[in-house]
């Protein structure tokens, strides 16, 4: 089933999760152990799986020379999505990114997904970390997420990069990303929302937000989106703060703000950072639920236990 259909048919807010594939050479069993817990306790309607561009770095060889090596640190998104679909009967949502991929590679990935019976994707630009491969291939790269959305929508209409007679249309539901505290490259929130509306108008079926810790930012964001004419579901993304280092790493890597109350509490009691973060997420999620959000999307990445504790709390309310 498509993600947008899950939201349209739901009679209560949905709970979904986002995971990352194991590192190159890592065991997928650890992912399944986490998913086994999630499915046993929640049985989410869909699970997102992140995608990662290939990265380049320099390795010293035995003879002392340096060699530029290109590899993807976390391959396996499509394979993991296929496993989720057939192992758990849950709709997977693979992320597709612009950064580091040609249009042809994106089309190939979409064809593979279509063959597997996977009809949901989240289309995002992806942030350049500085080590990702730089592509300059005469316009064969989707520069922005809207370009990727348009490519997917073209395939939904049977239009591929090549002119193919009687091409079979795909049928992808397309999710796009929104930023309650604006994208870090946007000059202001209004400008950012204009670009978001363009993605929706191009074919985005729903929006899932970047993580945030201040619900007021989300509520104001949704209000501005509605005033701009965006009428698709806007799903809040929640990350649970579980370690003191998150106070620095999350704002630095995701360009978000952490409320003083939460930051002070964790700083003054670092040993109980997990407990503090979970309690914050419980109240944050409860407020969102009571406000009538379409669902909550948990960025669990590694261990699902903190998120599952929050979900268990919400079930009792």
Catalytic residues: 18
Q: What gap in Å lies between CA 16 and CA 300, rounded to an integer? A: 10
Look at residue 244 and give its three-state secondary structure.
coil
Tell which residue, 229, 6, 189, has the closest CA to residue 209. 189
Tell which residue, 203, 197, 299, has the closest CA to residue 246. 299
User: What HEC string does 52-112 produce?
Assistant: CCCEEEEEECCCCCEEEEEECCCCCHHHHHHHHHHHHCCEEEEEEECCCCEHHHHHHHHHH
Cα diameter, the chain: 66
Q: What gap in Å lies between CA 300 and CA 33, rounded to an integer? A: 13
Where do we find the tokens 């380049």? 56
């Amino acid at each position: 089933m498509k993600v947008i259909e899950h939201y349209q048919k739901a009679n209560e807010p949905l709970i979904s999760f986002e995971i990352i594939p194991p590192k190159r050479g890592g065991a997928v069993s650890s992912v399944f152990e986490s998913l086994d817990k999630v499915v046993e306790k929640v049985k989410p309607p869909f699970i997102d799986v992140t995608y990662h561009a290939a990265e380049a770095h320099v390795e010293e060889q035995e003879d002392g020379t340096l060699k530029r090596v290109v590899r993807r640190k976390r391959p396996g998104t499509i394979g993991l999505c296929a496993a989720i679909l057939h192992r758990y009967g849950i709709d997977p949502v693979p992320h597709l990114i612009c950064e580091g991929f040609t249009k042809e590679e994106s089309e190939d990935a979409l064809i593979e997904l279509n063959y597997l019976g996977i009809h949901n994707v989240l289309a995002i630009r992806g942030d350049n970390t500085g080590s990702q491969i730089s592509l300059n291939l005469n316009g064969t790269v989707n520069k922005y997420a809207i370009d990727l959305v348009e490519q997917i929508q073209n395939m939904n209409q049977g239009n591929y990069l090549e002119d193919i007679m009687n091409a079979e249309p795909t049928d992808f539901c397309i999710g796009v990303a929104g930023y309650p505290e604006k994208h870090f490259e946007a000059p202001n929130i209004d400008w950012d929302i204009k670009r978001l509306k363009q993605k929706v108008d191009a074919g985005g079926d729903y929006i899932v937000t970047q993580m945030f810790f201040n619900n007021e930012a989300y509520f104001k964001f949704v209000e501005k989106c509605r005033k701009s004419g965006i009428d698709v579901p806007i799903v809040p993304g929640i990350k649970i703060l579980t370690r003191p280092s998150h106070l620095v790493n999350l704002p630095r890597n995701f360009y978000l703000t952490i409320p003083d109350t939460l930051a002070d509490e964790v700083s003054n009691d670092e040993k109980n950072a997990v407990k503090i973060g979970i309690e914050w997420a419980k109240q944050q999620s409860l407020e969102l639920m009571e406000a009538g959000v379409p669902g909550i999307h948990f960025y669990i990445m590694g261990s699902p236990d903190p998120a599952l504790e929050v979900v268990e709390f919400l079930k009792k309310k």
